[in-house]
A and B are shown apart, each in its own frame.
Chain A
């Protein structure tokens, strides 16, 4: 029952605050309930994406790390 990802963002290499800023800008284009995928390499993005989702009410559906790349799957509120 996988739902298609509406948008994927390559934020690899970017430092704070741009991964969050670019995600916030991109999620505006989405409809409520749609999924956005963010790929980042900044280790600080792990706590920051959690905090951002808590602050904005968007849902952090999935969070994984592989070979230094952090993947966040977020459902727009």
Chain B
């Protein structure tokens, strides 16, 4: 193959690079959910077909902010008592300081005009980012469709998630 041909090939490869973004959001921590939502909105802004799968602790941020206790049995209820859902109630993975850490982080974010997780989640939804809750986690945590915010895709499983990720840029956050 001549040099020219090689160049043409690599250029063509760049042009056919995936224009899909799939993010697996497994953590409900503020310092993970925030970049997840920043990348999701940016992916949509770049014209990428963007999907976020919310699984395990990552599902809690999709709970409506005004829903306090979720779950059907006492274990699930206890879980939600100590791990309140909703984008307004995310905790930091470190320097939580009984809530002082996130409060300081939110103050800094307001001062620096960084969009909040709540605003970013709404923006993502408005921009057509597919927000998919994990069915298994919903069952495990006793979460119902009524507990979650509006505008989500139908709950799905690992197979749908991996199929969507097959030809996409994939991130696990």
**Interface residue ranges, A against B (CB under 8 Å):** 13-18, 20-21, 23-25, 52, 55-56
Contact = CB atoms under 8 A, between A and B. Distances in A.
A14 B38 CA distance: 13
A52 B47 CA distance: 9
A21 B113 contact: no
The 6 closest A-B pairs by CB, nearest first: A24-B45, A17-B42, A15-B114, A55-B46, A13-B113, A21-B45
Interface of B: 38, 41-42, 44-47, 112-115, 123, 126-127
A21 B114 contact: no
Contacts, number: 40
Contacts of B112: 15
Given A21-B127, A25-B127, A56-B47, A15 B115 contact: yes
What does DSSP make chain A's interface, helix, strand, loop or mixed? Answer: helix
B45 A23 contact: yes
Contact of B113 (A14, A24, A55): A14
